[in-house]
Structure 1
Amino acid sequence: MEGPTEVPAPVQAAYSYCEAVTGRQARNFAYGIRLLPTDKRQAMSALYSFSRRVDDIGDGSLAPEAKRDRLERTRELLERIRRGAVDEDDIDPVAVALADAARRFTLPLGGLDELIDGVLMDVRGETYETWDELKTYCRCVAGAIGRLSLGVFGTQPGARGAERASEYADTLGLALQLTNILRDVREDAVNGRTYLPADDLAKFGCTAGFYSTTPPAGSDFAGLVHFEVRRARSLFAEGYRLLPMLDRRSGACVAAMAGIYRRLLDRIERDPEAVLRGRVSLPGREKAYVAVRGLSGLDARHVTRQKLRGRA
């Protein structure tokens, strides 16, 4: 629930720090949150900065035991925020900003516990036999962020189907994360991580960790990618049901972020082996174009038309 609009100077400084982190590190996320009013943009930056801290611990060079210790200390910080035990003079700007956001909005902070749980799965080097297993991981590291974001956005009074808004936000998070997994498949393999389900890999003659610049002989790597792209598109189509429940600017933010990832999917679908040659990305001008389409509602209407035609 939103609180007073006036922000004390130390808290404003903390938010400014988080916005700088977001602008510097969130290549896709930042395009969407620019469309939000100040209070929501600041809260989203605080959420991103805390999440970035958790991810950086998991991706860093520390030994696994040191990563686990650091993650548990981050969980203790989250508990302090939950108890309201972080004040505006705390030396940690991310904690100050997130604590203020939690006072101003109804944030399900347990979602950040789920994020920590998901990163601990990475630290343990877990792999996934089935989509259902991978889905559990994706819900921790991305679906939970979708639900937290919904706490900032809120839903329109009287919005039809609003009782399912959290479910749709979670599903959009899954769609984004599966797109990330496809985009980063080679980079993850180089770092000793395989996320795609073993069942799916086997179905297309692929094995975990094989990724080089070209698929191995006898595999149907393109078939594997197209299979996962269809799964991601289905998740996007379901998650887009959230948009009519949001106010215009929050809906534009979600449409912009999701639209960028859907265009990444389009590129990956057209050239599946591109993910083996390097990271697939969109130029800044195309991201800006997607943001404008999100603000106008064009991308949401496009997905709705595709869904009605059975192609989403």
Structure 2
Amino acid sequence: MDRDHHKQFGHKQFGVSRRSKVNYQWLVLIGSMRSLMSVLPSTARLQARFTTSRATNFYYSFLFLPREKRRAIESVYAFARRGDDVADGDLRPDEAAREIARYRDALDGCYSGRADGHSSAPEISALAETVQRYKIPRRYFDDLILGLEMDLGGARYPTFDDLAVYCYRVAGAIGLISIEVFGYRHPETREYAVSLGTALQLVNILRDLQSDARRGRVYLPQEDLERFGVRPEDLLAGRSTDAFIELMQFECDRARLYFDRARQALPAEERRSMVAAEIMAATYWRLLGAIRQRNYNVFGTRVRLARPLKFWIALSVYLAVYLGRDWRGRD
């Protein structure tokens, strides 16, 4: 059913007439490069952050934001990372639950003006400024925390509908928060954010199957495992069988479907404001392709992209967006 739905999606092109607008394209290119150089950090600082960033797939996207928005979105991801550390840590369930309660209390402080009480956590003060400046709805953060709580008791999802709820909470909600910072006018952009967030989360799930299984978490829907004859023990043992490959093909097609949905939902007028999100999309699209190139064997060495490639993807998408082109071309 998902595959049939996937086939119905067309690929909207945002081309520019080559003959009539060549000069215009070069003007945009020059202007874009000047804009880029104005927002990039110094070389030394950039190198340090390349080597120390814990979320480099997102970091390369943030490079192209104006300084104020970049700081705001970094505060959001720092807060989300703090929650991830609790959910993915080695704490006992009761300890993790208490930490999540403190995490929620810190969020209360951001929205009530009590963030100064958390001065030992600079990301809380930064987030408080962000949510007030950009008027980010509290419910998006509440949804994120609910998603983190879903991880505390392990992960088992009978159906994809169940998994979709989790994907929305831990990734779609972050997308909705992010577009409030980026700025948008069309309500369809919210659908874009949720679909793209789901696509990114599905890619993360696919490339971390074995490490998640070691934590007692199996995110793939049980209905899918049963359909293809793959057991959770196979994921833990890293068995790349024919049945597993068929399962992965199916799951990759589903992830691609959500990339397509995001692509269709994004109004052309919003592409420039969403350039950071589009860079994220292109990076994870490339990761999805890397999974396919490995014949879906995600066991052993983690599927990842080299840093120079990630920077090149970011630069290419940035220029494509400002030249009115579709970074995915005619795939």
Write out the 4+ residue segments of structure 1 that deviate beyond 4 Å after TM superposition.
Answer: 19-23
How far does residue 273 in structure 1 lie from its aligned partner after superposition?
4.2
- C-alpha RMSD of the superposition: 2.4
Write the mapping of 1:6-21 to structure 2, written as runs, cut at 5 A: none
* In the alignment, structure 1 residue 193 sits paired with structure 2 residue 226: no
How far apart, CA to CA, are the structure 2 residues paired with 1:176 and 1:100?
27
Task: Report the structure number with the largest CA radius of gyration.
Answer: 2
Task: Please give the per-residue CA displacement for 1:121-146, whole angstroms capped at 9, x wherever unaligned.
Answer: 11112310111000000101000000
CA distance in structure 2 between the aligned counterparts of 1:259 and 1:53, rounded to whole angstroms? 25
Cα deviation for residue 275 of structure 1 reads 0.6
Alignment of 1:228-307 (within 5 A): 228-240=251-263, 241-242=265-266, 244-246=268-270, 248=272, 250-297=273-320, 301-303=326-328, 305-306=330-331
Residue 266 of structure 1 deviates from its aligned partner by: 0.5
**What TM-score do you get using the length of structure 1 for normalisation?**
0.84
**In structure 1, the residue corresponding to 2:56 is in which secondary structure?**
coil
- Report the equivalent of 2:163: 134
Whole-Å Cα distance in 2 between the matches of residues 200 and 245 of structure 1?
A: 38
State TM-score, norm by structure 2.
0.79
Query: How far apart in 2 are the matches of 1:125 and 1:214?
Result: 22
Distance in 2, Cα, partners of 1:252 & 1:117: 28
My pick for the range that moved more, 117-126 or 268-277, is 268-277
Three-state SS of the structure 1 residue aligned to 2:123 is helix
Alignment deviations for residues 250-304 of structure 1 (CA, whole Å, 9 cap, x no partner): 4321111111100010011122443112210011111011101210126961437
TM alignment of 1:81-230, pairs within 5 A: 81-87=110-116, 90-156=119-185, 162-211=186-235, 212-215=237-240, 219-230=242-253
Moved more, 295-304 or 23-32: 295-304
Q: Distance in 2 between matches of 1:93 and 1:148?
A: 19
CA distance in 2, matches of 1:122, 1:272: 29
Structure 1 residue 88, shift from structure 2 partner: 9.6
268-277 or 63-72, larger mean C-alpha shift: 268-277
**Per-residue Cα deviation, 1:198-246 (whole angstroms, up to 9, x for no partner):** 1111111101232223335xx5111111111111111011112326343
CA distance in 2, matches of 1:25, 1:39: 21
Shift of residue 166, structure 1, vs aligned partner: 1.0
CA distance in 2, matches of 1:51, 1:25: 12
Superposed displacement of residue 67, structure 1: 0.2
Unaligned runs of 5+ in 1: 1-15, 157-161, 307-312
Identical residues among aligned pairs (%): 37
Q: What corresponds to 1:9 in structure 2?
A: none
* Cα separation, partners in 2 of 1:123 and 1:76, compared to 1, 3 Å: same
* Change over 3 Å in CA distance of 1:41–1:296 after alignment to 2: same
Q: Distance in 1 between matches of 2:146 and 2:71?
A: 25
Report the alpha carbon displacement of residue 170 of structure 1 after superposing the two structures with TM: 0.8
Provide Cα deviations, 1:72-121, integer angstroms capped at 9, x if missing partner.
11101101111122249933211110011112112123222212111111
How many equivalent residue pairs? 281
Preserved contact between residue 245 and residue 295 of structure 2 (Cα < 8 Å): yes
Show the counterpart of 1:35.
64
| Distance verdict in 2 for CA 1:220–1:79, change over 3 Å | same
